[in-house]
Each structure stands twice: as C-alpha cells, then as structure tokens.
C-alpha cells in the first residue's frame, strides 16, 4: 500500500517528497511561464514602438505612401498595448489568488496541528 502523501504529527504537516517536488516544480514553471509571456509581450511592444517611430519620421518627410502602413502599425501597437495591459491584470489577479491560497494553507496547517494535538491528548488519556 502506498504511503500517505500528507501526514500530520507533533511537528506539523509533513508532505511526501514526490508531492513536495511536484509543488515546487509547478510553482517554478508557473514563474518561468509568466516571465516569458511578460518579456515577449514587452519586446513586441518595443519593436512596434520603434517601427512606429521610424514610420513617423518617414511621414514627417512627406512620404505619403507609408500612411496606410502607419495606420496598420498603429492598430497593431494598440492591440499589443491592450494585450500587455490584459497580461498585467491577469498577473495581478494571479498574485491575489496565490496570496489567498497561501492564507488557506496556513489556516489548514493550523487546523491540522490542532487536530494532531487533540489526537495526541486523547491517546494519552487512554
């Protein structure tokens, strides 16, 4: 029979190594993914801003043939800025959820410690 993945004793809550590693790797991969999304979005916005600045300098010289392309770049830039804002709000929401989960885990750990103490007291009484 498999050993329990989570145990409660007088030292507190104990996680099985495989469960602990799964949690650690999952959190690390979530962090890497969030960093990748943020950096790729930032790089895309920066590239579009540079292209837009180049386009603006061409337009100032009176090059009217590039106006349609400038409008397209403006539209693409707005979309990228909107996506970046959406990603930022999702990251903020994820941070709030992680804080909430952390608080829930602390409360669960406290409850498990109380149950463990109660069980140990009942064993001593018998």
Per-residue HEC secondary structure of 12-46 comes to EEEECHHHHHHHHHHHHHHHHHHHHHHHHHHHHHH
Domain contains 113: no
Whether 62 maps to a domain, the answer reads: yes
Q: Which residue has the tokens 């104990």?
A: 14
Instruction: Give the model's confidence band at 57: pLDDT under 50 very low, under 70 low, under 90 confident, else very high.
Output: confident
Q: Is 48 within the bounds of a domain?
A: yes
Residue 18 domain flag:
no
* 57 in a structural domain: yes
Q: What is the pLDDT of residue 34?
A: 93
Q: Which domain holds residue 68?
A: 38-106
- 6-15, 29-38, 46-55, 97-106: segment of lowest average pLDDT: 6-15
- The total of structural domains in the chain comes to 1
The verdict on residue 42 lying in a domain is yes
Asked if residue 124 is part of any domain, the answer here is no
pLDDT digits (tens, 9 = 90+) for 9-48: 667 777 778 888 888 999 999 999 999 999 999 998 999 8
Query: Does residue 74 fall inside a structural domain?
Result: yes
List Cβ neighbours of 44 (8 Å cut-off, separation of 6 or more).
Answer: 80
pTM for this entry? 0.39
Give the pLDDT band of residue 61 (cuts 50, 70, 90). Answer: low
3-state SS assignment for residue 1: coil
The region of weakest confidence among 32-46, 48-62, 105-119 is 48-62
């Amino acid at each position: 029979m498999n050993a329990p993945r989570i145990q409660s004793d007088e030292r507190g809550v104990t996680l099985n190594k495989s469960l602990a590693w799964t949690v650690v790797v999952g959190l690390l991969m979530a962090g890497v993914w969030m960093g990748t999304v943020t950096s790729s979005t930032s790089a895309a916005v920066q590239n579009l801003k540079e292209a837009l600045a180049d386009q603006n300098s061409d337009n100032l010289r009176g090059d009217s043939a590039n106006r349609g392309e400038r409008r397209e770049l403006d539209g693409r830039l707005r979309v990228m800025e909107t996506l970046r804002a959406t990603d930022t709000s999702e990251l903020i929401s994820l941070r709030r959820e992680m804080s909430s989960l952390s608080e829930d885990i602390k409360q669960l750990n406290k409850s498990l410690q109380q149950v463990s103490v109660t069980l140990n007291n009942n064993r001593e009484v018998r």
